[in-house]
A and B are shown apart, each in its own frame.
Chain A
Amino acid sequence: MSKRAVDAVFQALFLLSDVRFLLRETAPGHDLDEEQKKRAATTLEKVKRQVAILEEELIR
């Protein structure tokens, strides 16, 4: 049982939901302002960390 992997899946999905919400807020052009770009960058960085955890737990 890998609670860490399960948590990482949920965390990544939740973070991607924030990205999805950002796409909605900025539709149809998706022209992000500086604050939104910063928010997107931070969120995507966090997603990468969760994916790294999943690789560690499930593949390596």
Chain B
Amino acid sequence: MKCAIDIESRDVEEMYINIDPIQAGGRLTADAMKAAISFADGYSVCDNCRSPFRLDYIQNPPIAQFHADLAAWLNMDTARVVPGARRGFQAVASTYVEKGDPVILTSLAHYTEFLAIEEAGGIPREIPKDAKNHITPDAVAEKIEAVIREFSKTPPLLFVDHVDYQFGNVHDVAAITKVAHQYDIPVLVNGAYTVGIMPVDGKALGADFVIGSGHKSMAAPAPSGVLATTNEHAERVFRTTQAKGDVTGRTFGIKEVEMMGCTLMGVTVVGMMASFPHVKERVKRWDTEVAHSQAVIDALLSIEGTTVLSDYPRQHTLTRVDTRGSFDKVAQQHKKRGFFLSSDLKKRGIIGVIPGSTKVWKFNTFGLTEKQIRHIGESFVEIARENGLNIV
């Protein structure tokens, strides 16, 4: 069925269980869908924009209150909605990083962190991960010392991922920020895989900036996200424009430079807002989500030759597995080659594993029902059994 000329309707969430690693936490709630129907037009939230004409001051819909609620929920002082976590990285890097500055991030960092640094003229320097795919406070201290030796100056910013996108491992951010602060380096915590799906307390983490992704983890339309900070940094990162037209003499009120004025002017912010009450509730059920993840992993591990590359037992719903000793052996003989796995899963109503992947791949079980979780685990085992793999 087409929803417009040449555009097929997207019905994969209705037809299948979707375990795509990046899509699980961004699936809309029913309320967000309703809000999207109502606010789909372009500048839809601007009907009641009044002086001082800025998104975070709009009372109807209650966007101003939403900003205050977001900050409080993250235990930070101030928040702004941004068009995706990456735009939050960009705003902070643009504020703190000068051309030629070294900026520290981790060897598990998302590529958009590199791009934010690059755009600001900074030079990225990576903290190595350890053998267990963790970023340790000791490694952070060593890297800071090495960078200071290399550049003869202290980095103006350090990025750390609360949970990394490669393994879905939870990193000891509180200990890492403690180290960075000993060198007076502000820390940006990338919460793209945490804010909105598990409890996040910015102050407890020692974060100077907490950045979340609406479309990855807050059940919101893309592109959306949140940049939250402390009073110490708010004035700088949310500085207002001083620009003045030399011909017209125009000035631009209290528009914030890094936000390019207003950020999410329609369906994105209203989608975030509509999901927010549900998001606040669902993070309280994080233990259940982790248990679901564990159940699927245990089913996979019952297939001889399968290993988990992420932390085990699981502490997150995003998991990286190695099936070179199981499904990939099947692929070598199978007429569909590596595509047999995604094909067999699809027959059972499961999508989200990259077609052709049978070696090392990721999946995310977030937001599924108990019954759906059981179906996934049983399906992996059935596929293994049908293809002659041993179940242990």
Contacts and interface: CB of A to CB of B under 8 A. Distances in A.
Interface string A1-44: 00000000010011001101101111111000000000000000
B150 interface: no
B298 to A, nearest CB: 22
A53 B169 CA distance: 53
Given A10-B38, A28-B349, A18 B16 contact: no
Contact of B33 (A20, A27, A29): A20
5 residue pairs, one from A and one from B, having the closest CB atoms: A28-B349, A21-B30, A23-B14, A17-B33, A14-B34
B15 interface: yes
Label chain B's interface by main secondary structure. Answer: helix
Contacts of A21: 29-30, 33
Contacts of A18: 30
A23 B12 CA distance: 11
A21 B27 CA distance: 10
Contacts of B37: 10, 13-14, 17
Contacts of A25: 369
Interface of A: 10, 13-14, 17-18, 20-21, 23-29
A29 B14 contact: no
Interface in B99-155: none
Interface in B10-40: 13-17, 27, 29-30, 33-34, 37-38
A23 to B, nearest CB: 4
A21 B34 CA distance: 11
Nearest to A31: B371
B27 A24 contact: yes
> Which of B27, B33, B350, B375 has the most CB atoms of chain A within a 10 A radius of its CB?
B33
A25 B372 CA distance: 8
> Which of A18, A21, A26, A29 has the most CB atoms of chain B within a 10 A radius of its CB?
A21
Given A27-B349, A27-B372, A17 B14 contact: no
A28 B30 contact: no
Contact of A28 (B16, B33, B38): B16
A10 B34 CA distance: 9
Contacts of A27: 13-17, 349, 372
B348 A28 contact: yes
A53 to B, nearest CB: 18
A21 B369 CA distance: 12
Given A14-B34, A17-B33, A21-B30, A28 B369 contact: no
Nearest to A23: B14
A23 B348 CA distance: 16
B90 to A, nearest CB: 33
A57 to B, nearest CB: 19
Interface string B358-373: 0000000000010010
A21 to B, nearest CB: 4
Nearest to A21: B30
B13 A24 contact: yes
Contacts of B16: 27-28
Interface string B369-385: 10010010000000000
A24 B15 CA distance: 7
Given A21-B29, A27-B16, 19 more contacts: A13-B34, A13-B37, A14-B34, A14-B37, A17-B34, A17-B37, A20-B33, A21-B30, A24-B13, A24-B14, A25-B369, A27-B15, A27-B17, A27-B349, A28-B15, A28-B16, A28-B17, A28-B349, A29-B375
